[in-house]
Amino acid sequence: MKEGKDRELSLLAKAAGEFGAKVLAPSREENDQYPFGPLFEPALTRAFDLGFLHAGLPENLEGLGDRLAPLCALLENVARDDASMAAVILTTAFAQNILLEAGEEERFKSFAGGSWTWADVLMAAPLFRDPTETAPGLTAEKRGETFVLSGKSDYVVLGGIAKRAVLPALDQAGALGYYLVDLGGWGIRKSGPVFSLGLHACPAADLEFSGAEALSVGKAGDGGKLFRAVSQRFSVAAAAVLSGIMRGSFKEAADYAKKRQQGGKEIIRWSELRMILASMVQGVRSTGMLVTEACRLWDAGDPKRRSAALSAFLHAAEAAISATTDGIQALGGVGYMKDFGQEKRFRDAQHLSAAFGILPRKKLALLKLTMAGE
Amino acid sequence: MNLKRKEAEKLAARTPSFEEMTASLHAGPRLARGMIRETRDVVAYCRKFCDEVVRPQVLELDRGLHEDPDHLPWDFVKKANEWGFYSLWIPRLLGGHGVNFSSLSYAMEEIGSVCLAMANLIGVHYLGFGTLTSSGNARLMRRLAQDVVAGEKSGEPCLISLAITEPGAGTDVEEVDLVDKANLGCQARRVDGGYEVNGSKVFISNGHLSTWHMVISYSDLARPSETTVMMAVKTGMKGFSFGRHEKKMGQRACPASELVFNDCFVPDELVALDDRIAQTFTRSQRETGQQMIDYVVSTSRAAVGAFGVGAARGAYEAALKFASETVVDGELLVNHEWAQCWLAEMLKNVTLGRLAYAETNYANGLYGMFKLLHEEPMFSIMRLTPRFIYERYVAPLLEKPGATAFYRKRSYDGQSSCEQHRTSGLASIAKFAGTDFGIKNCQMALAFMGEAGLRQDRGAEKHLRDAKLLQIYEGTNQLNRLNLFKCLIACGCDGARVFEEKEGGLS
Ligand SMILES: Cc1cc2nc3c(=O)[nH]c(=O)nc-3n(C[C@H](O)[C@H](O)[C@H](O)COP(=O)(O)OP(=O)(O)OC[C@H]3O[C@@H](n4cnc5c(N)ncnc54)[C@H](O)[C@@H]3O)c2cc1C
């Protein structure tokens, strides 16, 4: 995205980029390995110190404020080197924002205020899975002031690590709502980290609940509304992560093409290879512009901000899948190997695009918004 | 139709030539009738193999190979050996089962739709054997084939790899027009009684698992296109060792290896082809080199296209299963109209990819590697002749130089340039279309399945990781497009030159 003359954004982008290059890149391969080792604690500690894990919060909660642009600038620049960390920040911010959107700021402060380490801040969520698309496997039953959860919640991102999660569940009347759960509590079985396509250093777990205590978030039956409000805003943030992945892929491809020789010259001097790089640039530039514009509309409270956000995400998903496929291709055989970042970017881009739920259905959602004049 | 014969011939010869458009039409009537039944049985056999062997273990094996990247999956390799897959397509004349070659592509689609790594284990073995076949060296073909068959009997698999790629030269060694500019480092120096090889080959599929390696090297690194040496190197030979075992994104059950040569002496009896032999061909050494490459890649690229179709099909089947089991917005996904069209698009990709590799194989039967064995009466003679007749009377003939000379004459001198270009061009289409369809469908499946597609235990994501390789090896898809241009476009386009691009303008 374009930071333009916004000094605050430029500084943030620079800090995030340096963090990616210095802290994340050197151990990217190691952190990505399956079976997963311990979480990349030093990197998380540094991210916490830099305030990145609070990034999605308003200023009064030590975050980057209500504007979307700073969060996107941060995510994009972190993702250039390792999208897993960007996904950790994104997931936590998403879960935090479900709470805030539901008006639960006081409750949030009660456990997150004055956090000392990254472990206090991380929050888990089934990322962007739309609970109205396929019904959640979790039910919530009222017991006095609180609720108890039963059933399964699959693929809860950070579910094996975070202390708390925000999860969708159906109440006894079948109404969809969100619930705040203490993951250290009784009645919760966690699987090991789920082996997935990408984003390995942002692991997910399947959670099984049998009478675990939970607090309702917002009003009963507001789950769909909450999800839509937060996920639409965060679809721009996800587009920013995809944009960062693409930028990283392009840089690696272009650097390699300037050095690698075939046919008696650097491969960048073959115009077909340049055409591949050009397509990547097209994806990078167009996505960057859409993310910038979607941030602007969102931050201005524009009535068309929702459709702009979804368009940015859908475009970013297509462009990132295509660019990272090309990003491997430009390197030939070495692009397929773990030693280079390209195969990881290819997996991460595809992963993040599909973690949002059924992609073509999102297109229909865009149409619906547009037809409604939004 | 009011056309004179001459006029019709002239019009039909116009680009695209009638022959280029209609390989299947020409091949159909000539095909031996037994081929249909035999191919059906191959497909059925592969399905049984997948049901009983591959599917039940493939995801666990993939996980295990991530946990221990250096592990060599011998049990998996041995299963295919037990089922006879490593000699199924070796001609009976040489001791194999002699199943028709074009059925290999259908088999690769079947197995690839479940696990591309297993398809690659089998397919690459035939790439090694096919490359040896292109040399026409009947004696060496028999020797390696015998080892493969013996390995099947003993339970110790004997696989054959093909080693061309070097650290500094990948695309360049796939093309005669480029190889003279390549940054080569692996040299086969002529010495008394054979060659001494020094250097390394990289990314060699099945390397660590193979007993034999068909190695392509050059005796003069300044003139590689005229000094190509093809030789068989056996695991354990002095001066030959394995280097790195690559850490790949997918196809983990099929290792990619570095082969290292350190003063490795290869005796003449293991040399399948070199410049001395190439001089006996009618065409120039350079032309013969290109013809041999085309001869091999016309079959192997069809097979890689079939791998791609396998990936496309595996992804399509995963998406269909998901759509039939998942309720979205209160209705089974498969009943949403847009989802029906999505699945139809995926099936279209599978079908078009299959048509492309099948058409290429018809061309191979008419003009290429399959020609000798696919037509009657040869097809039936091969099947009906008892094995002891081969062993007692035919095998000794293969040891004679005349057998090799006959094979070479028939295969190379008997093939016109147009035929060579037609098969090679079609093979490139099959390769890049099939593998692009493979990637496309994998990506469509994941977009369609949401989070369910991302879990390794659901299988869909593995297809994508496995399939990406297909756009890279057997010539990158860019090289295959250029080969198609060279074979089927440039000849009708005055002034067109390939691999001689002038720089300027936007460079
Ligand atoms: C897992 C794996 C298994 C393999 N198995 C085998 C095997 O069994 N045996 C074997 O010999 N090899 C094998 N290979 C090697 C494979 O064939 C090469 O990787 C492939 O030919 C590409 O070569 P390269 O990797 O050197 O890429 P490069 O040739 O360096 O290509 C890099 C990029 O430059 C482009 N490029 C290069 N030259 C040109 C040009 N003239 N015009 C336009 N673009 C150009 C390419 O298309 C590509 O996009 C394997 C590779 C892998 C990854």
DSSP A192-251: SPPPBSS-TTS-EEEEEEEEEEEEEESSTT-HHHHHHHHHHHHHHHHHHHHHHHHHHHHH
Q: Residue A341: list chain B partners with CB under 8 A.
A: none
Residue nearest to atom 32 of ligand 1 (CA): A332
Is-cis flag, bond preceding A42, omega within 30?
Answer: no
Q: Which residue of A has its CA nearest to B458?
A: A196
Give the other-Cβ count within 10 Å of A293's Cβ: 17
B501 touches chain A (CB under 8 A): yes
Which of B121, B184, B472 to mutate for ligand 1's pocket (most ligand atoms within 8 Å of CB)?
A: B472
Domain with CATH 1.20.140.10 in chain B: 18-159+284-494
> What residue ranges of chain B are covered by domains with CATH 2.40.110.10?
160-278
pLDDT score at B391: 81
Q: Smallest Cα–Cα separation from A139: which of A153, A158, A154, A126? A: A153
Q: What is the pTM of this model?
A: 0.96
pLDDT category of residue A360 using cuts at 50, 70 and 90: very high
In terms of Cα–Cα distance, which of A233, A240, A243 is closest to A308? Answer: A233
Which of A262, A352, A367 is best to mutate for the B interface (most B CBs within 10 A)?
A262
The Cα A323–Cα A283 span in angstroms is 7
Total beta-carbon pairs less than 8 A apart between chain A and chain B: 151
What pLDDT was estimated at residue B361? 95
Nearest neighbour of B478 by CB, restricted to A127, A194, A272:
A272
Q: For residue range A163-210, what is the model confidence (pLDDT) as tens digits?
A: 999 999 999 999 999 999 999 999 999 999 999 999 999 999 999 999
At B378 the pLDDT is: 78
Amino acid (one-letter) located at A257: A
- Cβ-contact B84, B158 below 8 angstroms: no
The pLDDT of residue B198: 98
Q: A190 forms bridges with which residues in the sheet?
A: A207
The confidence score (pLDDT) of residue A13 equals 93
Inter-chain touch A337–B248, beta carbons under 8 Å: yes
Distances (CA, A) of B163 to A207, A244, A336, B205: 48, 38, 18, 8
Contact B501 A35 (CB under 8 A): no
Task: Calculate how close chain B gets to A127, using CA atoms only, in Å.
Answer: 10
Instruction: Check CB contact of B497 with chain A, cutoff 8 Å.
Output: no
The residue type at B64: G
Given B169, B172, B448, which is nearest A358 (Cβ)?
Answer: B448
CA quadruple B240, B243, B245, B247: dihedral sign: negative
Residue type (1 letter), B213: H
Task: Write the CB contacts of A152 (distance below 8 Å, at least 6 apart in sequence).
Answer: A137, A138, A206, A207, A208, A209
DSSP B455: B
Judging contacts by C-beta atoms under 8 Å, the chain A residues touching residue B469 are: 336
Cα(B256) to centroid of ligand 1, in Å?
13
Q: Is the CB of B62 under 6 A from ligand 1?
A: no
> With a 6 A CB cut-off, is B219 part of the ligand 1 pocket?
no
Q: Give tens-digit pLDDT for A284-332.
A: 999 999 999 999 999 999 999 999 999 999 999 999 999 999 999 999 9
- Residue A276 pLDDT level (bands cut at 50, 70, 90): very high
Residues 6+ apart with CB under 8 A from A104: A180, A217, A218
Distance in angstroms (rounded) separating the CA atoms of residues B495 and A76: 47
Interface of B with A in 149-178 (CB under 8 A): 165, 168-172, 178
Measured from the Cα of A256, ligand 1's closest atom is: 32
Q: Which residues of B touch A346 (CB under 8 A)?
A: 249, 468
How many other C-beta atoms lie within 10 A of the C-beta of residue B9?
Answer: 11
A260 lines ligand 1 (CB under 6 A): yes
What is the helix (H) or strand (E) element at residue A340, kind and residue range? none
The torsion region of residue A132 among left (phi > 0), alpha (psi -120 to 50) and beta comes to alpha
For ligand 1, say whether the CB of B498 is within 6 Å of any of its atoms: no
Structural contact between residues B446 and B454, judged by C-beta atoms closer than 8 angstroms: yes
Q: Does ligand 1 lie within 6 Å of residue A336's CB atom?
A: yes
- Name which residue sits closest to atom 12 of ligand 1, judged by CA: B165
Angle of CA points B409, B410, B411, to nearest 5°: 95
Point out the residue among A270, A273, A354 whose CB comes nearest to the CB of B447. A354
- Model confidence at A348, pLDDT cuts 50, 70, 90, reads very high
CA nearest to B209, candidates B74, B317, B115, B83: B74
Which atom of ligand 1 is nearest the CA belonging to A337?
A: 53
CB contact under 8 A, A358 and B471: no
Structural domains present in chain A: 2-121 (1.10.540.10), 123-222 (2.40.110.10), 224-371 (1.20.140.10)
* Minimal Cβ distance to B249: which of A196, A338, A364: A338
Cα B176 from Cα A275, distance rounded (Å): 24
Quote the distance between the C-alpha of residue A308 and its chain's center.
Answer: 18
The residues facing A262 across adjacent strands are: A265
Closest residue by Cα to atom 27, ligand 1, is A332
215-274 in chain B: CB under 8 A from chain A: 246-250
Check if the beta carbon of residue A244 is closer than 8 Å to that of residue A75: yes
CA atoms within 13 A on the CB side of A206: 13
- Structure confidence at residue A247 as a pLDDT band (50, 70, 90): very high
- At position B340, the amino acid (one-letter code) is Q
Instruction: Report whether residue A263 contacts ligand 1, using a CB cutoff of 6 Å.
Output: yes
pLDDT (tens digit, 0 to 9) for every residue of chain B, 507 residues total? Answer: 889 999 999 999 998 999 999 999 999 888 888 899 999 999 999 999 999 999 999 999 999 999 999 999 999 999 999 999 999 999 998 999 999 999 999 999 999 999 999 999 999 999 999 999 999 898 999 999 999 999 999 999 999 999 999 999 999 999 999 999 999 999 999 999 999 999 999 999 999 999 999 999 999 999 999 999 999 999 999 999 999 999 999 999 999 999 999 999 999 999 999 988 888 888 888 888 888 899 999 999 999 999 999 999 999 999 999 999 999 999 999 999 999 999 999 999 999 999 999 999 999 999 988 887 777 787 888 888 888 888 888 878 877 878 788 878 777 888 899 999 999 999 999 999 999 999 999 999 999 999 899 999 999 999 999 999 999 999 999 999 999 999 999 988 889 999 998 887 776
A100, A103, A104, A105 alpha-carbon torsion, rounded to 10°: 60
Residues ≥6 apart with Cβ < 8 Å to A120: A111, A112, A163
Asked if the Cβ–Cβ distance from B67 to A339 is below 8 Å, we say no
The CATH number of domain B18-159+284-494 is 1.20.140.10: yes
Q: Which residues pair with A178 in a beta bridge?
A: A168, A217
E strands within A71-193?
123-124, 138-143, 146-157, 164-171, 176-182, 188-190
Q: How many CA atoms lie within 13 A of A190 on its CB side?
A: 22
Q: Do residue A354 and residue B456 have CB atoms under 8 angstroms apart?
A: no
Can you give the pLDDT at residue B344? 98
Nearest CA of chain A to the CA of B386: how many Å?
45
State which residue of chain B sits closest to A325, comparing Cα positions.
Answer: B468
Residues of A in contact with B439 (CB under 8 A): 325
Chain A contacts of B203, Cβ < 8 Å? 333
Residue B256 Cβ inside 6 Å of ligand 1? The answer reads yes
End-to-end CA distance of chain A: 23
Query: Chain A interface, mutation test: which of B451, B483, B498, most A Cβ atoms within 10 Å?
Result: B451
Spell out the residues 6+ positions from residue B375 whose beta carbon is closer than 8 angstroms to its own. Answer: B30, B31, B32, B365
Put simply, whether B476 touches A (Cβ < 8 Å) is yes
Amino acid, single-letter form, for residue A74: L
Query: Would the pLDDT of A41 be above 90?
Result: no
C-alpha distance from A200 to closest chain B C-alpha (Å):
11
What residue has token string 């004049």?
A373
Q: Where are the beta strands (DSSP E) in B330-457?
A: 331-332
With H, G, I as helix, E, B as strand and everything else as coil, classify residue B43.
helix
Q: Cβ–Cβ of B455/A194 closer than 8 Å?
A: yes
Confidence at residue B402, expressed as pLDDT on a 0 to 100 scale: 81
The reply to whether residue B249 touches residue A198, judged by beta carbons under 8 angstroms, is no
- CA nearest ligand 1 atom 44, residue: A273
CB contact under 8 A, A34 and B451: no
Mean pLDDT across A360-372: 94
Instruction: Give A358→chain B minimum CA distance, Å.
Output: 5
Q: Which CATH number fits domain B160-278: 3.40.50.300, 2.40.110.10, 3.40.50.1970, 2.160.10.10?
A: 2.40.110.10
